[in-house]
Amino acid sequence: MAPHPAADLTGQLLDGRYRLHEVLGSGGMGAVHRAEDTRLQRIVAVKVLPHTATDDLARARMRTEARLAGSLHHVGVAQVFDYVETSESVDGLAYIVMEHVEGHSLAELLRETGPMPVEQVMSVLVQVSDALAAAHAAGVVHRDVKPANIMLTPAGRTVLVDFGIAWSDANEPLTATGTLIGTADYLSPEQAAGRTAGPLSDLYSLGVVAHHCLTGTSPFRRDSQISTAVAP
């Protein structure tokens, strides 16, 4: 079934509680809004997957994302507060309510500044490594470690976000074996080959991120995603 077109939900009040404001980012797994929790009077981030009533696989993936990210309690992982999936929501929406991380992504910083100082790169790598260690200890593999999924706060905190394609060996697989999962520039060799990703896959991707931070370029960038993914 073809996906429904994304609707502009800015200004909507979800389930009488979460007022959606501007879109912070969007992708195949939904749009993330800055939002207000009107009950607790705080700013949160709400990742919305629209029209889920007719898309069981998308619902299952978002449910898995909420459960896996919500199982991690680490300063380097954005906290999950709630997951809502109900036919009574606006247009049958499902959504995750998360900590709103103030700041900008590592990808934005690299676009603006190019190569980063070694000391700053080391701070980012240590903090992301700590977050990944916590995830891996809980049996969770992120599978999409890249600059766009690393947030930097003004206070110097580094936060790993977007567990949308994360995997745990406790889960039923939602993607067929042989399917390319992740972002081509940062894929581990086993992911590029369509094999199962593990903790070392995340560390490989983090190593590629380190190269990008230090040099300003991805080491494997080619003319297409496929050629990038399989680059030596």
Cβ atoms of 54 and 86 within 8 Å: the answer is no
> Which residue(s) pair with 48 in the sheet?
31, 95
DSSP state of 171: S
| C-beta separation of 180 from 218 below 8 A | no
Angle, vertex CA 28, rays to CA 26 and CA 29, nearest 5:
80
Tokens 């459960």 sit at which residue? Answer: 67
Q: Is 144 a catalytic residue?
A: yes
Per-residue 3-state assignment (H helix, E strand, C coil) for 78-141: CCEEEEEECCCCHHHCEEEEEECCCCEEHHHHHHHHCCCCHHHHHHHHHHHHHHHHHHHHCCEE
Question: Which residue in the list 56, 82, 144, 169 is annotated as catalytic?
Answer: 144
CA quadruple 19, 22, 26, 32: dihedral sign: negative
Bridge partners for 158 per DSSP = 152
Beta-bridge mates of residue 45: 34, 98
Known catalytic residues are: 144
